[in-house]
Amino acid sequence: MSVAVLRRAVRETLSGLPREFWWLWTSTLVNRLGAFVATFMALYLTLDRGYSASYAGLVASLLGLGGVVSSLGGGVMADRLGRRPTLLVAQTATAASVALLGFVEHPVAIAGVAFLVGLASNASRPAVQAMMADIVRPEDRVRAFSLNYWAINLGFAVSSMAAGFIAEVSYRAGFLLESGMTLVCAVVVFLKLPESRPVREEKSVREDSVGLGTVLRDGRFMGVVGLSFLVALVFQQGSVGLPVAMGAAGFTPADYGMAIAVNGVLIVALQIPVTRFIEHRDPRRLLVVSSVLAGYGFGLTAFAGSVGVFALTVCVWTLAEIVNAPTQTGLVVRLSPTHGRGRYQGMYTLSWALASLIAPVMSGSVIDRFGAEWLWGMCAAVGTAAGIWYAVLMRRLPSPGEPAPTPAPTPTPGESSSQGRTLAAPEPAAEGSAA
């Protein structure tokens, strides 16, 4: 590929997105660049504080539990209060709780503050995704979500490497640095991002009202949430099942580090060019292929006997991840009514939060009772089942510019229910913020 062709490809990938998107993207990148605590939390508790591995696992579970609780709460806040206020509250609370976590010493206090960190940090995710859907044109959303996912992985790769060096100097410094960088994100939101929540006409407020009950009654969307949970369980095995299985097979932590590093390198290198290939293709086919590829990518791990082969299996499921992540997020937007994007994104975020909570227990139990080969076989079966389910569920998928139908709200006494299903307000045609 010539330099001219490469430059044109980069220019086409980055062009056409509104200024507000790039400020939101910058906030995401800064946030992930400062994500030190998640990397060294277990080492901090066991080596620096002297607590047991079981206690460190409990704290990690409480972090995940906080994320589960805030997934729906953050979505409701994004719809009721607005995207910008939700981001400001969540990021400020995250900065405060992370800083506090670096100073508390009592085990009960550490556990309680860890729950608060999970609660605050995950509350911003539905708002970010809803705001991105608000400000980016429908035809550009897969590309925008892909660029955001690329920023997440680039930031995490850098912060993971930096976390080790910071921990050698001072664990507390890592807490304070993450807190400070999260505050920088809040400042970026405050200064550069206007509110993007679509404005409703007064007469349509009741008709377009979307509550959590509306989301739960949306059968096709809840099917997508269920599929997202299954696929997330598979992808979680890269960080929970794979290291345990490699350790049980006699490989060292350094061996696992070499194998899993391929995941981050490939995402940073391939996310943008792969997105150019998939952004205008049928999302149903992409989700079917990526689900099956993820399942069999992990399934092939059962035959790995060297670090090189483990790395090859990581390549397979990483390609599935690159395709699945932006396609899935874009699909959630297409199935969400305009004035319910926060709640719909919150429910989608909940599927990943639950998977991160359940996957460690599930994979450990399967490996202990039946062996790692059974875990990898289950991943292949789950990936295949998810692919088939996607193919069936996504028939008559609405086009990118077509508003998603909203399940009819439960009629109040004296109100006619003859309206059936109502349509959300049309997508704003103009580029940029919808505020």
Which positions ≥6 away from 94 have C-beta within 8 Å? Answer: 117, 120, 121, 124, 179, 182
Q: Where are the beta strands (DSSP E) in 320-390?
A: none
Q: What pLDDT is attached to residue 108?
A: 94
- Taking the domains of the chain in order of start, what are their residue ranges? 19-197, 210-405
Report the C-alpha gap between 404 and 336 in whole angstroms: 6
Q: What pLDDT is attached to residue 416?
A: 37
Higher pLDDT, 401 or 232: 232
Query: What would the mean pLDDT of 30-41 be, rounded to a whole number?
Result: 82
Q: What pLDDT is attached to residue 200?
A: 64
User: Tens digits of per-residue pLDDT, 143-189?
Assistant: 888 888 888 888 887 887 787 788 888 889 989 999 999 999 999 99
Whether the pLDDT of residue 215 is over 90: the answer is no
Q: What is the mean pLDDT of the chain?
A: 82
Q: What pLDDT is attached to residue 201?
A: 55
Q: What is the CATH number of domain 19-197?
A: 1.20.1250.20
Higher pLDDT, 420 or 61: 61
Q: Looking at beta carbons, which pairs linking 211-214 to residues 24 or more positions away fall under 8 Å?
A: 211/343, 211/409, 212/72, 212/76, 212/343, 212/347, 213/409, 213/410, 214/337, 214/340, 214/343, 214/406, 214/407, 214/409
Query: What would the mean pLDDT of 313-341 be, rounded to a whole number?
Result: 89
Query: What would the mean pLDDT of 301-326 be, rounded to a whole number?
Result: 92
Taking alpha carbons only, the member of 161, 151, 159 closest to residue 268 is 151
Q: What pLDDT is attached to residue 85?
A: 94
> What is the pLDDT confidence band of residue 256, given thresholds at 50, 70 and 90?
confident
Whether the pLDDT of residue 92 is over 80: the answer is yes
User: Tens digits of per-residue pLDDT, 342-368?
Assistant: 889 889 989 988 988 888 778 888 888
**The domains spanning 19-197 and 210-405 adopt the same CATH topology:** yes
Q: What pLDDT is attached to residue 396?
A: 63
Structure tokens belonging to residue 94: 């995250």
Whether the pLDDT of residue 234 is over 80: the answer is yes
Higher pLDDT, 215 or 405: 215
Which positions ≥6 away from 354 have C-beta within 8 Å? Answer: 68, 229
Q: What pLDDT is attached to residue 101?
A: 93
Q: What pLDDT is attached to residue 206?
A: 45
Q: What pLDDT is attached to residue 431?
A: 33
Query: What would the mean pLDDT of 287-301 be, rounded to a whole number?
Result: 94
Q: What pLDDT is attached to residue 232?
A: 93
Whether the pLDDT of residue 339 is over 90: the answer is no
Whether the pLDDT of residue 300 is over 70: the answer is yes
Q: What pLDDT is attached to residue 19?
A: 92
Query: What would the mean pLDDT of 232-238 be, rounded to a whole number?
Result: 91
User: Tens digits of per-residue pLDDT, 97-133?
Assistant: 999 999 998 999 999 999 999 999 889 999 999 999 8
**pLDDT over 90 for what percent of the chain?**
34
Query: What would the mean pLDDT of 36-51 be, rounded to a whole number?
Result: 80
**Helix %, strand %, coil % for the chain, to 5?**
75, 0, 25
Residue 348's φ and ψ, nearest 5 degrees, are -65, -45
Q: What is the CATH number of domain 210-405?
A: 1.20.1250.20
Q: What pLDDT is attached to residue 433?
A: 33
Whether the pLDDT of residue 293 is over 70: the answer is yes
> What is the pLDDT confidence band of residue 411, given thresholds at 50, 70 and 90?
very low
Q: What pLDDT is attached to residue 218?
A: 87
Q: What pLDDT is attached to residue 397?
A: 63
Contact in structure between 278 and 319 (CB atoms under 8 Å): no
Q: What pLDDT is attached to residue 420?
A: 35
Q: What is the pTM of this model?
A: 0.76
Contact in structure between 35 and 178 (CB atoms under 8 Å): yes
Report the C-alpha gap between 76 and 366 in whole angstroms: 36
Lowest mean pLDDT among 1-10, 101-110, 239-248: 1-10
